[in-house]
Amino acid sequence: MTNKKIKRLSIKPFVRKVVNSMLIILSVLLVCVVITASVLMTWSPGKPKPFLDENGSVLSGSISEKIHVTINGARQGMFIKGVDKTKPVLLFVHGGPGMPEYAISQKHATVLEKYFTVCWWDQRGAGLSYNTNISPDTMTVEQLTSDTVTVTNYLRKRFGQEKIYLMGHSWGSVIGIQAAKRAPELFYAYIGMGQMSKQRQSENLSYEYIVEQYKRARNKKMLEKLKRYPSDKMDTLPSAYWNMRDEMMHSLGIGTTHKMKSVVKGIFLPVMQNPEYTFSEKINIWRGKFFANNATGLWDEMMATDLTKTVQKLDIPVYFCHGIYDYTVSYKLAKDYFDKLQAPMKGFYTFEQSAHSPLFEEPEKFAHILQEDVLAGTNNLFYYYRMGILGE
């Protein structure tokens, strides 16, 4: 037998082994995909959870809905939740752009539904409100501010209330505060959490803080990486920097929450585990997030906005709630903005254990402020804190 024939005969068993190994691997992967899909579908019935009484029955007078409403020509979704639907209405304007927060709020001891009938609105192009027919041309600060006013009027009519409360978080504070300026007659008060003012400057302060922390830790590896992305070119930095920025901020405790070290564990998994969104709606959360940040000019508008020039006065009470560790939106710049902002009543509340989301991080303190100052129409706690009568 020639050497060529021997080689041909010896190759066949080898090929069989390779093919068999590949089939086993593909089978395992297929099983994993099926199991993962089954788990995700189990997690995703897509029905809003009712509030229950001590007997396990639906709490009388409560409300728990997931609905869609046409807002300025676009079909937009929202959750409306509250233990007592006769309570004052609060519209929560989420951050991002394009990141609905109801999806992650259920992992935290939020308190809003105790004091308000809360509308967790998924903004145009986000989550429940995402669809492929939305024109990027409509994704502007002006349009979303107009949407905020229209949603407000829907809620006023729906619940028969002359005015409602308005809360803006992070990016949502950009459009929320402008809606409050545009139509103050619709609102009892405006609450800014992680209130933006001059975000380009805020990003520079964040960058400086991160560099300083890595210098103290003698983390040469991260310092070398940051040299590729100079802060004086913040407007033109690639997506690689912004992805790295999120990781750095969370690792240093200055991101979404002070204790959140992983975006996967802190945001991605809570979204995917939320039973009140269907699986396709969860996928749309990420599609909407990508759309808002990459297919529109919202990010550029947000970075260019200077609220210290565009909103210098409000005709309603204003309350800012800010975490001391917040570098997603600068605590210092928010405080400076608050000091300059004119309003008939103001309150600034520092959350000593929080970063960007004090509502989720220190819910008891947040509830105390809502009850004692916001709903009472006063700012007594603010003065008590400032004068040292009460500790922050």
Residue 148 sits in the same domain as residue 291: yes
Task: Give the position of tokens 């949407």.
Answer: 147
Centre a 10 Å sphere on the Cβ of residue 330 and count the other Cβ atoms it contains: 25
**Does 375 reside within a domain?**
yes
Phi, psi of 237, deg, nearest 5? -65, 140
Indicate if 365 and 329 belong to the same structural domain.
yes
The C-alpha angle with vertex 100 and arms to 94 and 101, in degrees rounded to 5, equals 75
- Which of 243, 266, 289 marks a domain boundary? 266
Residues 80 and 183 occupy one common structural domain = yes
pTM: 0.88
143 and 248 part of one domain? no
Beta strand 63-71 with 74-82 is antiparallel
Q: Is the pLDDT of residue 256 over 50?
A: yes
How confident is the model over 291-311, as a mean pLDDT?
Answer: 91
Can you read off the two tokens belonging to residue 338? 């608050």
95 and 142 in a single domain? The answer is yes
> What is residue 238's predicted lDDT score, i.e. its pLDDT?
80
Determine which helix (DSSP H) or strand (DSSP E) holds 363, and give its type and residue range.
helix 363-369
| Cβ neighbours for 362, distance < 8 A, ≥ 6 positions apart | 351, 353, 354
Burial 298-328 (b: 16+ CB within 10 A, else e): bbebbeebebeeebeebebbbbbbbbebbbb
| pLDDT grade for 15, boundaries at 50, 70 and 90 | low
SS (H, E, C) 288-305: HHHHHHHCCCHHHHHHHC
> Closest Cα partner for 373 from 346, 354, 392?
346
Helix (H, G, I), strand (E, B) or coil at 83: coil
Is pLDDT at 8 greater than 70 in this prediction?
A: no
Lowest mean pLDDT among 72-86, 178-192, 375-389: 375-389
pLDDT for res 295: 82
359-374 mean pLDDT: 96
Q: Are residues 153 and 9 in the same domain?
A: no
Q: Within a domain: residue 392?
A: no
338 and 222 both lie in a single domain: no
Residue 371 belongs to domain spanning: 63-198+281-387
pLDDT band (50, 70, 90) for residue 32: very low
Q: Return all residues near 316 (Cβ < 8 A) that are at least 6 apart.
A: 180, 184, 187, 188, 189, 190, 343, 344
Q: Quick check: is 49 in a domain?
A: no
Same domain, 183 and 207: no
From the centroid of its chain, how far is CA 39? 25
Question: Two tokens at 382?
Answer: 């603010």
Q: Which pLDDT does position 22 carry in this prediction?
A: 64
Position 106 scores a pLDDT of 84
Average pLDDT over residues 280-286: 96
Cα 347 to its chain centre, rounded Å, is 23
Query: At residue 94, does pLDDT exceed 80?
Result: yes
Judge whether 144 lies within some domain: yes
pLDDT reported for residue 36:
47
What spatial distance separates the first Cα and last Cα of the chain, rounded to whole Å? 90
CATH of the domain at 119: 3.40.50.1820
181 vs 293: which has the higher pLDDT: 181
| Judgement on whether residues 94 and 223 belong to the same structural domain of the protein | no
In degrees, to the nearest 5, what angle opens at C-alpha 372 toward C-alphas 371 and 376?
Answer: 85
Instruction: Confirm whether 356 is domain-assigned.
Output: yes
Are residues 309 and 186 part of one domain? yes
Whether 47 is in a domain gets the answer no
**Order of strands across the sheet with 318-323?**
63-71, 74-82, 117-121, 89-93, 164-169, 187-193, 318-323, 346-351
CA distance 103 to 167: 17
The burial of 13, by beta-carbon neighbours within 10 Å (0-12 exposed, 13-18 middle, 19 or more buried), is given as exposed
Instruction: Using the predicted structure, report yes or no on whether residue 1 has a pLDDT greater than 70.
Output: no
Distances (CA, A) of 78 to 66, 137, 151, 304: 6, 22, 10, 29
Q: Give domain status of residue 55, yes or no.
A: no
Q: Which of 108-122, 232-246, 322-336 has the lowest mean pLDDT?
A: 232-246
Number of separate domains in the chain: 3
Q: Where are the beta strands (DSSP E) in 83-211?
A: 89-93, 117-121, 164-169, 187-193
Verify that 165 and 192 share a domain, yes or no.
yes
20/106 same-domain check: no
**Which of 7-16, 76-85, 306-315 bottoms out in mean pLDDT, i.e. has the lowest?**
7-16
pLDDT in tens, 167-221: 999 999 999 999 999 999 999 999 999 999 999 999 999 999 999 999 999 999 9
What are the Cα distances from residue 244, in Å, to 227, 291, 331, 347?
13, 20, 21, 34
Query: Does residue 253 lie within any of the structural domains?
Result: yes
Percent of the chain with pLDDT over 90: 76
